[in-house]
Structure 1
Amino acid sequence: MAEKHVLGISGGRDSAALAVYVRQHRPELDVDYFFTDTGKELPEVYEFLGRLEGFLGKPIARLNPRRDFDFWLREYNHFLPSPQTRWCTKQLKLAPFEQWIKPMLAAGDKVTTYVAIRSDEDYREGYSAKHPNLTVSLPFREAGIDKKGVHDILESSGVGLPKYYDWRSRSGCTFCFFQQKIEWVRLKERHPEAFEEAKSYEKNAIEHGSPFTWSKGEPLDELEKPARVIQIVADYDRRRQRELARRPVNPLRPAELQRCEDLDELFGEDEGGGACVVCHK
């Protein structure tokens, strides 16, 4: 019997900050870091993982699902995943993690998994342990670390934020259904090949009777039309300016509100709001 410590990296800010935090505050722990790789991630995510590995001084294990997105899409009758049916999270994120720790638990090891739920996220529950030898630890919640604290950890460590935060509010697959419409526009601008792949998946799903499109109520071939793009950008700019005008400015952090990460606060649940608890972290 042994004690194991594992920490999942999503490619996002919170889980990266937690890895830095645990490395700094619990250096005696031999932590195994892992990343569940769907094969559909943003290239900026892989760049960030390399940067984080440099700080941690240890490789981040890549967990690949035994069956890829295309296999599961066929299994689910070509219906796209959606906020109502998040089969991608279950099959491509959670299942690989559970398979990875299964031999540890079978050997009688006690496994602690560290999850990056912040103190300002009372509404999040995170992963629920399904084995008596598996313990879920929430260091940020216990230490009272919020979003500002996460930024401070990443900035002071030199790791910084993933580059996709310049234009996107979350990590995860290129065609994540939690994206805002402005993020779909920016995906087309920055990674047109990924946008085209998302369109092909959506077209195939619609042909098979899927009730869902990637962006709620609007297929991508309509969203990408020039007039529609202009409307989406203008709508985003108006709402963003209203939000910036409403908030008090922190003189010590004048650029804090300029980041794309505030998209969820701008648009909320009406347009893609919410996030996969695995990918978002």
Structure 2
Amino acid sequence: MTKRHVLGISGGKDSAALAIYMRDRHPELDIDYFFTDTGEELPEVKEFLDKLEGYLGKPIARLNPGRDFRFWLRQYNHFLPNPQSRWCTRMLKLKPFEEWVKPWLASGDEVTSYVAIRADEEYREGYSAKSDNLIVKLPFREAGINKAAVIDILESSGVGYPKYYEWRSRSGCTFCFFQQKIEWVRLKERHPDSYEAAKALEKDALEHGSPFTWSKGESLSDMEHPARITEIKAEYELRRLRQKARTPQNPLRPLKTGLEDIDDVYGEDEGNGSCLICHK
């Protein structure tokens, strides 16, 4: 029996920090790092993966689901994924991982998967292993590492944050349905081609009878009207200021203004309940 160690990189801050933490704290472990590429990732994510590889000193395996988002959209009757039916997570994230480790598990190897769930995320649960020789460990929860400690790990390593945190609060696909409306607006501003592609997918889904739009209760075509964009930006600024007023000031850690610093505000908006696989 061979003991193997794997760690999934989502392109987000927590999984990157865990990879750095495990490399520095447990150099005796030969960890295989992997990233599941849906084919619909932000360019900033790919840039960040290259930077992280440099620090880790070894490649991050890119797992390919084989069949892309558009194939599975047709399989699911052109219905867009949504919080009640996260087929994108199952088919484009979980399934490629399970196929990747299947030969090891079938040969009797013990595979330990390290997952980046923090100590301050009591509401989150890790991946449920389907094999007795697949072991899931949560190093951050075991070590009491919270969000502030994750930030310290990224900053002290020199790797820092992915650039998309300048305008977006999570990694994942360009058209992740857990985005806030402000994030859709900023996707249009930063990556207009990706916004247009998401709008075309939404139009196709609606024409086939899908009851869902990417953003709850509002199509991307309606959202992109100039007056609506102005309204969305004003609503977001009010939420940001409310959150800032509730946050204790720490002179040793100046308050940042990026979307990643208002995670709590998701409870007031449509971003609550984000994907447990993608957004970390």
Give the TM-score range, shorter chain: over 0.9
Q: Secondary structure at the match of 2:204?
A: helix
Q: TM-score, normalised by structure 2?
A: 0.98
Could you say which residue in structure 2 is the equivalent of 1:152? 152
- Per-residue CA deviation, residues 41-65 of structure 1 (Å, 9 max, x unaligned), is 0000000000000000000000000
Could you say which residue in structure 1 is the equivalent of 2:168? 168
Task: Trace 1:107-118 onto structure 2 (pairs within 5 A).
Answer: 107-118=107-118
Letter matched to residue 208 of structure 1: H
CA distance in 1, matches of 2:205, 2:268: 24
Letter matched to residue 32 of structure 1: D
Query: Does residue 15 in structure 1 map to residue 8 in structure 2?
Result: no
Could you say which residue in structure 2 is the equivalent of 1:189? 189
Does structure 2 conserve the Cα–Cα contact (< 8 Å) formed by 1:81 and 1:88? yes
CA distance in 1, matches of 2:246, 2:279: 26
Q: TM-score, normalised by structure 1?
A: 0.98
Letter matched to residue 123 of structure 1: Y
CA distance in 1, matches of 2:147, 2:246: 19
Once the two structures are aligned, what percentage of the paired residues are identical? 72
- Per-residue CA deviation, residues 198-256 of structure 1 (Å, 9 max, x unaligned), is 00000000000000000000000000100000000011111211221222211111133
Q: Structure 1's 268 and 129: CA in aligned 2 closer, same or farther, altered over 3 A?
A: same
Give the total of aligned pairs.
280
Does structure 1 conserve the Cα–Cα contact (< 8 Å) formed by 2:249 and 2:255? no
Does structure 2 conserve the Cα–Cα contact (< 8 Å) formed by 1:216 and 1:272? no
Q: Secondary structure at the match of 1:62?
A: strand
Structure 2: stretches of 5+ with no match in the other structure: none
Structure 1: stretches of 5+ with no match in the other structure: none
Structure 1 segments, 4+ long, off by >6 Å, are none
CA distance in 2, matches of 1:162, 1:172: 12
Could you say which residue in structure 2 is the equivalent of 1:30? 30
CA distance in 2, matches of 1:142, 1:242: 33
Could you say which residue in structure 1 is the equivalent of 2:273? 274
CA distance in 1, matches of 2:225, 2:70: 27
Does structure 1 conserve the Cα–Cα contact (< 8 Å) formed by 2:7 and 2:115? yes
Letter matched to residue 272 of structure 1: G
Does structure 2 conserve the Cα–Cα contact (< 8 Å) formed by 1:45 and 1:171? yes
CA distance in 2, matches of 1:75, 1:107: 32
Bigger shift: residues 174-183 or 242-251: 242-251
- Per-residue CA deviation, residues 4-55 of structure 1 (Å, 9 max, x unaligned), is 0000000000000000000001000000000000000000000000000000
CA distance in 2, matches of 1:269, 1:227: 22
Q: Secondary structure at the match of 2:233?
A: helix
Could you say which residue in structure 2 is the equivalent of 1:94? 94
CA distance in 1, matches of 2:106, 2:119: 33
RMSD: 0.9
- Per-residue CA deviation, residues 133-166 of structure 1 (Å, 9 max, x unaligned), is 0000100000000000100001111110101001
Q: Secondary structure at the match of 1:100?
A: helix
Cα deviation for residue 263 of structure 1 reads: 4.1
Could you say which residue in structure 1 is the equivalent of 2:246? 246
Could you say which residue in structure 1 is the equivalent of 2:140? 140
Query: Does residue 74 in structure 1 map to residue 78 in structure 2?
Result: no
Letter matched to residue 89 of structure 1: T
CA distance in 1, matches of 2:200, 2:248: 43
